[in-house]
């Protein structure tokens, strides 16, 4: 039965004498129960929709994509709709991204790296960090060009998506991996 005061399920049964069994429960509830998940690619845009059946202590979701289904990279995030990260009701979520948006996100990451690398260092360290950041920018821009094919799945004809749920304490749990459908 559900105990509203303790906010938990409870099981009780009668025994006689020494019963010889142990009951153990998980100290925390499962963070999110995922419902349906879909990913559709149409006109160069990836649209992902999912439902959570329940949420406990949820902070946000990270959306990851992959061409091979093994090496995933983050393409975005969505905050929890649940009040204080907790809900017993089904909640719908959606996320979409275009190739241009993916490029813009990568550009903002580069600016952040540059600012962190050069802040508060002496002249020699700033020069060294500028050279390192210049090399990293080449790698970053190369990966941005590669991301175009990753987002639309055209290089392999396949694009896999999964959603990472992140608790308020930073603990992460993954949805199942699905393949995006090209329309």
Closest CA to 47 of 144, 165, 152: 152
23 inside domain: no
Q: What phi and psi values does residue 8 have, to the nearest 5 degrees? A: -160, 160
Q: CATH code at 58? A: 2.60.40.10
Containing structural domain, residue 178: 30-182
127 inside domain: yes
53 inside domain: yes
CA 93, CA 90: separation in Å to the nearest integer?
A: 10
**Which are the contacts of 144, defined by CB distance < 8 A and separation ≥ 6?**
102, 103, 106, 107
Q: What's the confidence (pLDDT) of residue 3? A: 75
- Long-range contacts made by residues 37-40, C-beta under 8 angstroms, separation at least 24? 37/161, 37/163, 37/175, 37/176, 37/178, 38/178, 38/181, 39/159, 39/161, 39/178, 39/179, 39/180, 39/181, 40/180, 40/181, 40/182, 40/183
Q: What's the confidence (pLDDT) of residue 103? A: 46
135 inside domain: yes
Burial of 150 from C-beta contacts in 10 A (0-12 / 13-18 / 19+):
buried
118 inside domain: yes
- Domain count for the chain: 1
3 inside domain: no
> CB-hemisphere CA count at 13 Å for 157?
0
123 inside domain: yes
8 inside domain: no
**pTM for the whole structure:** 0.58
Closest CA to 58 of 87, 28, 91, 92: 87
Per-residue pLDDT of the chain (183 residues; tens, 9 = 90+): 777 776 677 777 777 666 555 565 555 556 788 999 999 888 888 899 999 999 999 999 999 888 888 888 899 999 999 999 999 999 999 999 875 554 455 445 445 555 555 555 566 666 666 666 666 565 555 454 444 434 544 555 678 889 999 999 888 988 999 998 888
Whether the CA torsion 94, 144, 44, 175 is positive or negative: it is: negative
């Amino acid at each position: 039965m559900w105990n509203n005061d303790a906010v938990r399920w409870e099981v009780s049964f009668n025994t006689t004498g020494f019963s010889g069994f142990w009951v153990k429960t998980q100290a925390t509830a499962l963070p999110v129960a995922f419902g349906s998940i879909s990913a559709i690619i149409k006109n160069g845009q990836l649209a992902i929709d999912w439902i959570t059946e329940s949420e406990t202590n949820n902070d946000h979701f990270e959306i990851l994509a992959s061409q091979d289904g093994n090496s995933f990279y983050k393409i975005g995030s969505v905050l929890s709709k649940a009040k204080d990260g907790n809900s017993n009701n089904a909640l719908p979520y959606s996320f979409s991204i275009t190739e241009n948006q993916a490029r813009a996100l990568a550009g903002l990451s580069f600016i952040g790296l540059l600012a962190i690398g050069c802040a508060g260092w002496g002249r020699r360290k700033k020069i060294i960090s500028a050279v390192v950041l210049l090399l990293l920018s080449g790698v970053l821009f190369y990966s941005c060009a590669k991301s175009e094919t990753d987002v639309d799945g055209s290089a392999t004809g396949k694009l896999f998506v999964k959603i990472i749920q992140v608790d308020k304490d930073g603990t992460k749990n993954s949805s199942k991996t699905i393949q995006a459908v090209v329309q």
